[in-house]
Amino acid sequence: GAGVSQSPSNKVTEKGKDVELRCDPISGHTALYWYRQSLGQGLEFLIYFQGNSAPDKSGLPSDRFSAERTGGSVSTLTIQRTQQEDSAVYLCASKLSGAYEQYFGPGTRLTVT
């Protein structure tokens, strides 16, 4: 079956512009995570959605970052007024409720010039 997909795969933007990153989770997966991975670093948790519950936004680094999940499926991560330090790979993962295994998408590589 289809895995987690993310778009775009690569995004180059100018400093100060807004960007939207999209994640399509595996059908039926109620939990969805966003992570950020800078070059050569580990994964940094950003935000977590579980069903209809309020998302856990505790990992968002600033108020320039926001995310939403529509209809319990597709999620969009928005970064406003991008900065060069936002350059990283943004990974999305989904999982079944009650399961531990997360399924990751291929990521979106964001470059802010």
Partner 1 sequence: LAKTTQPISMDSYEGQEVNITCSHNNIATNDYITWYQQFPSQGPRFIIQGYKTKVTNEVASLFIPADRKSSTLSLPRVSLSDTAVYYCLVGDNTNAGKSTFGDGTTLTVKP
Q: How many CB atoms lie within 10 A of CB 14?
A: 8
**DSSP-based three-state secondary structure for 38:** coil
Cβ-based nearer residue to partner 1, 79 or 90? 90
4 binds partner 1 (CB under 8 A): yes
Q: Is 56 near partner 1 (CB under 8 A)? A: yes
Contact between 99 and partner 1 per CB under 8 A: yes
Cis status of the peptide bond prior to 55, with omega within 30 of 0: no
Q: Kindly indicate which of the ranges 13-21, 38-46, 69-77, 80-88 contains the residues binding partner 1, using the contact rule CB under 8 A.
A: 38-46
62 Cβ contact partners less than 8 Å away, ≥ 6 residues apart? none
Whole-angstrom distance, CA of residue 111 vs CA of residue 97: 33
Q: How far apart are CA 42 and CA 88, in angstroms?
A: 11
Is 12 among the residues that bind partner 1 (CB under 8 A)?
no
Is residue 25 within the footprint of partner 1 (CB under 8 A)?
A: no
* Residues 57-86 close enough to bind partner 1 by CB under 8 A: 58-59
Binding residues for partner 1, rule: CB under 8 A, are: 4, 31, 33, 35, 41-43, 45, 48, 50, 53, 56, 58-59, 91, 93, 98-107
